[in-house]
Amino acid sequence: MISYDYHCDENGETITVSHSIKETLTNWGQLCSLANHHMGSTPPFTPVRRLISCQESEPDESTLSMFSKSKSSDGGCSCC
């Protein structure tokens, strides 16, 4: 499952939840239910919106080796 951030403009809260790519949450009640989060005084049918986010990940060894430069003994570039 994929993690998504949803924001409620009325209460200013942003909550991260995981769900299927086919599913979309539209209100605070749905979001709180899925996240097991206390609703507080915000009405359950208050709209929420899914945020676009970019999550950076650490490159693994195979990715790093593709971009590493080998050093030649004469000080030139590795392509010559």
Model confidence pLDDT, tens digit, residues 24-50? 999 999 999 999 999 999 999 999 999
The tens digit of pLDDT for each residue in 45-70 reads 999 999 987 666 666 666 556 566 55
Cβ neighbours around 6 below 10 Å, total: 22
**Which residue, among 46, 47, 48, 40, has the nearest Cα to 16 in the 3D structure?**
48
**Which residue, among 80, 69, 3, has the nearest Cα to 35 in the 3D structure?**
3
Statement: the pTM of the whole predicted model exceeds 0.85: no
Going by pLDDT thresholds of 50, 70 and 90, the confidence category of residue 8 is very high
Give the pLDDT confidence score for residue 57 in this predicted structure.
Answer: 60
Cβ neighbours around 31 below 10 Å, total: 24
